[in-house]
Amino acid sequence: MDLNSFIEKFAEAIELEDSSVLSRDTVFRTLPEWDSLSYLSVIAMMDEEYDIQIENADFKQLLTIEDLVNYISNR
């Protein structure tokens, strides 16, 4: 999976205007834009774009953008 492509989709899902602030090491829960709606939007994006359904308990274990990418890549 292409990291840059995922970052663009992630940024769009959370309505982040400047995706250049994101990197593989970004702890996404610390972003000012992160809230419960962002969480649901990322879950929906993962389902729509990558056909990945993720359990809430699994999502809680993921901290960084790279964690999300690795989760998708390993499915």
Q: What is the CATH number of the domain that holds 44?
A: 1.10.1200.10
Reference 70, options 44, 45, 48, 52; nearest CA is 52
Task: Count how many Cα atoms sit within 13 Å of the Cα of residue 62 in the half-sphere of its side chain.
Answer: 21
Q: What residue numbers bound the domain in which 56 lies?
A: 3-74
pLDDT digits (tens, 9 = 90+) for 12-61: 999 999 999 999 999 999 999 999 999 999 999 999 999 999 999 999 99
At 7 the pLDDT is 98
Asked if residue 31 lies in contact with residue 25, where contact means CB atoms within 8 angstroms, the answer is no
pTM exceeding 0.75? yes
Whether 1 has a pLDDT exceeding 90, the answer reads no
Domain count, the chain: 1
